[in-house]
């Protein structure tokens, strides 16, 4: 379940974004409907003009049904393929517009039927017919529909009739001779293949003769005697080379021993293994019979030991025969034991005189013989290898020829089979065409089609109109709807303030909420106050700023402060716009000490703040003016004394409202924003650029400064100046309907004013007490709905 939710959230968010984009574009289209209507009107006029001036074309249509008998062979005849399941209908359809059919149709036309050809030469008439002619297959059937468009309805009928007639004749003519033509083509191809087979057979025989192929096979491959001989010479050469290397090593060891005067007895066995033991003994003066005698004695000794063991089982140890046998065995063992010693003694005696020169001479002689043999075998091997390589090339050629021969023979058999099948079935094949619908002269033109022209004109006008709306909206970088602001800024619109009346009053009298609190425009500030009081979090320290100068942030701030004061909330106004202190100027407090004095002072912040705070003239509303203009406003606001000032104000006042410079004009708002509960952004839709406002809100998000919402200021009551009626978005009005009696009108006016005052006083008293009582629940719901709708 959790995995499903994780995957569903991005999809739901993407869907929501798409819906919001479509909603915004729909609102844009509604506002710029004149562009859309103009595009639609222009497209309709152009479509009407085209329909009135376009050349009329009349259509004629005929239908043919194509029936195959002997369909297997028909497929072969028409497509040239052996696939009997191939559907030939697309082929039949394409033949209708082939040049031969169209040229044949020209022979059946009269001069008055050629109204579409104009002054073109005859060789181009077929192209004109092809351009206006169309053929289609009825889905799931073997019916072909043929249509033609012409300026003359009678000419269209006659051209369709001529094309159908020419097509049927061409199909019958070509289909009857198709099987025979294919048979002749296949026969010609078979003759060529047979000639190729004969040539390949001759080449194969010649190759076998050259290589002397005696058909010796090994694992399915031919192994020629020349190849076997080369392999044998190679093995023998390797063996001789090993023997030569061994002799060279032995000769070097013996010569080193002779030169060093070392004992040569250890090399005797090595030489014996190389030259042969018997040859070595003979050359050193030993009788080979001694070795045979020694072997005989060893065998006799084994036999006598066996006899002794048998005698000991039947006779006593002191028996004369046993003692004789023991003596005989002892003599032979002693002889055999002393034989190697005698050989060594003899070799020691002849070592200096005979052994050394004989060993060296014998090994060198054997080495010379081995080198001579190696040279001879090497020569024979090189010759055999060359012959084997030549033979391998010939054998590869022979194998290729045999494969080609087998392939050609298979191909020849397939061609013969196809020719046989065609000859057997040629009599049963036939393609028939029947006309199922004759062409009829049209009474009304087919082109231009009134419905299609109208639909295309409306569609083109709609597309061009929407594109024009999009371009116009992209070039107009202003907000045009409350929904657009909430969607693009991702914040709520807290209130919408109308254009207030300009007054010449100064000081507290310049604030509309104080001068004319019952005016219609002042209700927006009560809505703003209510929206803030009903917010999810308690926002007591609020900064009001704007994206650009002259957006009315100071006016909104002052009126909101008066609204809080009227609801019996102790409120402090701080003019933190030390660059252009608009609040100080509005309240006529220029030249007074204020915020800059507190921030630059050295005394206690609370004492200085209390001393420099001014009474506004409204109960519960105090003002801390900007004070003397500093050179470093951002540094002063970033000082700890400003945070201490806010801490002191929070202990004394219920609400602290701060006026700051525009967010994009200076960094003061960002510096103050880290110390307060939230920022309210004042937007003037008729003036502010959309990109500038978005940049301002993004800067707050980047710095983690909470943006409570936006206030739309200076909205016009004129529907023509702002679409969706920014000035008419309150959802209620203070206008009252009166009877014709002037006295009743005056009385009802007073009663209406009294009702408004009672409503406001009741609402504010409920908010002051912090709880909404049951008897005023309806009023609270109305006020909350106003805040939410904003």
The per-residue pLDDT for range 498-544, each reduced to its tens digit, is 888 777 777 888 888 888 888 888 899 999 999 898 876 778 899 99
Q: What is the largest CA-CA distance in the chain?
A: 180
Q: How many CB atoms lie within 10 A of CB 405?
A: 18
pLDDT value of residue 485: 84
Q: List average pLDDT for each run of 10 residues in the chain, which is 790 residues long.
A: 47 75 79 88 92 90 81 41 52 87 89 86 89 89 90 91 90 66 77 85 78 53 70 84 81 73 60 56 55 74 82 80 82 73 59 63 79 86 82 78 84 81 58 86 86 92 91 78 81 89 80 85 90 81 93 93 93 94 91 92 92 92 94 90 94 95 91 92 89 90 92 73 41 34 38 36 35 34 38
pLDDT value of residue 754: 36
pLDDT value of residue 595: 94
SS3 575: strand
Query: Which residues sit opposite 544 in a β-bridge?
Result: 659, 680
pLDDT value of residue 285: 53
* 482, burial (CB in 10 Å: exposed 0-12, middle 13-18, buried 19+): buried
* 385, burial (CB in 10 Å: exposed 0-12, middle 13-18, buried 19+): middle
* For residue 528, cis peptide bond before it (omega within 30 degrees of 0): no
The per-residue pLDDT for range 382-415, each reduced to its tens digit, is 888 887 787 777 777 878 888 888 888 888 888 8
SS3 509: helix
Its pTM stands at 0.45
Packed helices 482-489 and 690-702: angle between N→C axes, nearest 10 degrees: 40
Collect all residues with Cβ–Cβ distance below 8 Å to 419 and sequence separation of at least 6: 183, 186, 187, 190
């Amino acid at each position: 379940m959790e995995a499903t939710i994780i995957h569903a959230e991005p999809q739901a968010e993407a869907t929501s974004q798409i819906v919001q984009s479509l909603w915004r574009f729909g609102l844009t289209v509604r506002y710029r409907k004149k562009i859309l209507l103009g595009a639609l009107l222009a497209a309709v006029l152009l479509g009407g003009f085209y329909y009135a001036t376009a050349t009329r074309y009349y259509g004629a249509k005929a239908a043919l049904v194509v029936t195959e008998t002997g369909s297997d062979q028909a497929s072969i005849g028409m497509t040239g393929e052996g696939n009997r399941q191939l559907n030939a209908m697309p082929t039949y359809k394409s033949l209708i517009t082939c040049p031969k059919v169209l040229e044949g149709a020209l022979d059946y036309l009269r001069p008055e039927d050629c109204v579409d050809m104009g002054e073109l030469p005859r060789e181009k008439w077929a192209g004109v017919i092809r351009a206006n002619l169309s053929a289609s297959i009825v889905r799931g059937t073997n019916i072909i529909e043929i249509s033609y468009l012409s300026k003359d309805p009678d000419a269209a009928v006659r051209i369709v009739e001529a094309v159908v007639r020419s097509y049927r004749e061409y199909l019958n003519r070509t289909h009857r001779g198709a099987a025979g033509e294919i048979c002749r083509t296949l026969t010609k191809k078979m003759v060529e293949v047979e000639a190729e087979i004969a040539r390949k057979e001759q080449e194969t025989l010649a190759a076998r003769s050259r290589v002397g192929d005696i058909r010796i096979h090994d694992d399915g491959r031919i192994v020629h005697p020349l190849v076997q001989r080369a392999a044998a010479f190679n093995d023998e050469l390797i063996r001789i080379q090993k023997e030569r290397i061994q002799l060279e090593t032995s000769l070097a060891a013996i010569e080193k021993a002779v030169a060093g005067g070392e004992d040569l007895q250890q090399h005797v066995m090595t030489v014996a293994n190389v030259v042969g033991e018997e040859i070595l003994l003979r050359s050193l003066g030993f009788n080979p019979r001694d070795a045979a005698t020694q072997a005989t004695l060893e065998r006799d000794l084994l036999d006598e030991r066996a006899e002794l063991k048998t005698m000991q089982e039947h006779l006593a140890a002191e028996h004369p025969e046993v003692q004789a046998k023991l003596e005989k065995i002892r003599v032979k063992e002693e002889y055999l034991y002393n034989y190697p010693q005698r050989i060594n003694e003899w070799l020691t005696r002849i070592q200096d005189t005979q052994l050394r020169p004989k060993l060296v001479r014998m090994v060198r002689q054997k080495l010379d013989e081995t080198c001579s043999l190696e040279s001879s075998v090497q020569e024979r091997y090189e010759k055999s290898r060359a012959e084997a390589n030549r033979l391998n090339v010939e054998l590869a050629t022979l194998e290729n020829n045999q494969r080609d021969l087998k392939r050609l023979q298979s191909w020849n058999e397939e061609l013969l089979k196809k020719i046989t099948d065609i000859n057997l079935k040629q009599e049963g094949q036939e393609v028939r065409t029947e006309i199922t619908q004759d062409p009829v002269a049209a009474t009304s033109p087919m082109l231009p089609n009134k419905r299609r022209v109208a639909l295309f004109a409306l569609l083109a006008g709609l597309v061009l109109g929407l594109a024009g709306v999009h371009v116009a909206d992209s070039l107009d970088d202003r907000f045009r709807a409350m929904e657009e602001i909430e969607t693009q800024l991702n914040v709520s619109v807290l209130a919408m303030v109308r254009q207030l009346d300009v007054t010449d009053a100064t000081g507290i009298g310049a604030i509309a909420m104080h001068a004319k609190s019952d005016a219609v425009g002042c209700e927006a500030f009560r809505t703003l106050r209510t929206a803030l009081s009903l917010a999810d979090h308690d926002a007591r320290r609020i900064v009001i700023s704007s994206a650009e100068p002259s957006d009315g942030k100071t006016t909104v701030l002052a009126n909101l402060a008066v609204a809080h004061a009227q609801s019996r909330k102790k409120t402090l106004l701080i003019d933190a716009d030390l660059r252009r202190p608009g609040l100080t100027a509005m309240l006529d407090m220029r030249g007074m000490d204020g915020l800059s004095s507190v921030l630059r002072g050295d005394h206690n912040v609370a004492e200085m703040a209390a001393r420099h705070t001014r009474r506004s003239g409204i109960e519960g509303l105090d003002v801390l003016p900007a004070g003397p203009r500093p050179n470093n406003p951002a540094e002063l606001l970033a000082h700890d004394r400003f945070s201490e000032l806010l801490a002191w104000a929070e202990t004394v006042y219920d609400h602290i409202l701060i006026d700051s410079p525009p967010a994009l004009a200076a960094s003061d708002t960002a510096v103050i924003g880290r110390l307060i509960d939230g920022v309210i952004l004042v937007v003037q839709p008729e003036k502010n650029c959309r990109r500038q406002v978005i940049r301002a809100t993004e800067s707050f998000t980047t710095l983690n400064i909470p943006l409570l919402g936006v206030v739309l200021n200076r909205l016009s009551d004129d529907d023509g100046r702002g679409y969706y009626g920014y000035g008419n978005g309150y959802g209620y009005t203070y206008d009252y309907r009166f009877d014709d009696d002037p006295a009743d009108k005056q009385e009802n006016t007073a009663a209406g004013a009294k009702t408004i005052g009672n409503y406001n006083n009741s609402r504010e008293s409920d908010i002051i007490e912090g709880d909404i009582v049951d008897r005023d629940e309806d009023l609270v719901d109305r006020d909350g709905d106003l805040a939410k709708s904003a």
